[in-house]
Amino acid sequence: MAVYLDDGAVAESLRLHKAPILERLTIKLGPHCPVNANVGKWIGNAVDRRVFVDVSSPVCLPPLKRLLLVFVVYKDDDYVVRLLSSCPILEYLYVLQHEQDNVTKFSVKVPSLETLIYFYRKAKVLDEEDIGRSLAIDSKILKKFFIADYSTNSCSIENKPSFDKAVIYVYSYPDDKFMRSLSSVRYLEIRLSVATKPNDIPPCLSTKLKIFEWKEYGATSEEKQVLSYILANSKCLKRAGISLKSTWKWNKKKIMKELKSMYRISTTSQLLFSTQLEFKPLWTPFRNNVTNLKIGV
């Protein structure tokens, strides 16, 4: 144990510390510690070398309700399972995963989980060498779900939770099995990086969809097909909001007239459109500033 009388000496000591991994760091502030002591910077300097957390032996975190895992490097798939199973009352899980974390199947089996926010960041562009990774969710009381993954990774949901809100940013339209697991959702937002075809739209939306919004509608032939299909098959639709592409300078009236002429099976539905419509999401995932961790390697 070292004792320092000057906060500058603490920072310098941590900066010069060369050990690749810290097993334990304890900081005790005495009664004469300056009020402006930069404790956060000290910890930041320490964990820049990464923190080693061993969950190979049984561990339990009974009071933990919120867990954030950002760019964590795990030992293998089982480490994720063991880590999450050690949190019996976990309610909120935030995951920012990358392709070099040693995990092929990220399993989230947490009975108490209510909110899951999951990002997958791929360093390279999509190519043929992309390995088959997956996200598997088994949390029956899950209410809020956010996923942003523009790779070709798969996602499966067991036990069909009663979602309140789901926000899905993915490469292509999810398969029918995945969409059926969202059939009870009250608010659904989907963003795709590739064009969607009418036969990609699951039948369940035609009997559930009440509010539909399309931002940056460009009136391409593919977009017209998709929009026409949705309007013609959404029996419960109450409102459709179309925001025209901001780059459009001409023929706006022509496009709006074309939209009005599209058949709508719901005769009571409203069609709203503007180049200045602002679609504010009902739910924005919360993100904290956290540090890199290295687990079990």
**pLDDT tens track for 82-121:** 999 989 999 999 999 988 888 999 999 999 999 999 999 7
Q: Domain limits of the chain?
A: 7-47, 53-194, 196-276
Cα separation values, 235 from 177, 183, 211, 269, Å: 22, 15, 11, 9
Higher pLDDT, 190 or 165: 165
Question: Residue 144's pLDDT is what?
Answer: 94
Question: Residue 221's pLDDT is what?
Answer: 84
**pLDDT tens track for 225-264:** 888 888 998 888 888 888 887 766 667 888 888 999 999 9
Cα Rg for the chain, rounded, in angstroms? 24
Edge to edge, the sheet with strand 105-108 lists 105-108, 134-137, 154-157
Question: Residue 253's pLDDT is what?
Answer: 82
Query: Running DSSP on this structure, what letter comes out for residue 115?
Result: E
Contact present, 157 and 135 (Cβ < 8 Å): no
Question: Residue 174's pLDDT is what?
Answer: 72
Those residues whose C-beta lies under 8 Å from the C-beta of residue 40, and which sit 6 or more positions away, are: none
Question: Residue 40's pLDDT is what?
Answer: 64
Task: Give the model's confidence band at 31: pLDDT under 50 very low, under 70 low, under 90 confident, else very high.
Answer: low
CA-based nearest residue to 180, from 151, 208, 222, 152: 208
Higher pLDDT, 147 or 197: 147
Contact present, 291 and 47 (Cβ < 8 Å): yes
